[in-house]
Amino acid sequence: MSNNEEANVFGDMSIEDLQETVQEMSVQLRDAKAALKEKRLSGVRIALDARREADVELQEELKKLGYTYRTNTISDVAHPFFRRF
């Protein structure tokens, strides 16, 4: 559908119908943005989970050897620019 055809479709609608359409499209846009963010960050989440698992395994192995070990990962640090996923 070209822009002219879309303009004609919206031009024939009443104000109430246009408001309802805009609200529905706003919801669709919000959902699409959330899906995009989820897809963009999925690799980061997977990497962070793998890092956490590796840190736990490292802690266990060092504990067996008699060492104490504490990691400073993003989830351990309170920083205003980082949010937990």
* Between residues 71 and 52, the one the model is more confident about: 52
What is the per-residue pLDDT across 23-40, written as a single tens digit (0 to 9) for each? 999 999 999 999 999 999
Query: Three-state SS for 46?
Result: helix
- How far is residue 57's CA from residue 27's CA, in Å, rounded to a whole number? 43
Identify the band that residue 66 occupies on the pLDDT scale cut at 50, 70 and 90.
confident
- How far is residue 76's CA from residue 41's CA, in Å, rounded to a whole number? 19
**Which runs of consecutive H residues, i.e. helices, occur in the chain?**
3-11, 15-64
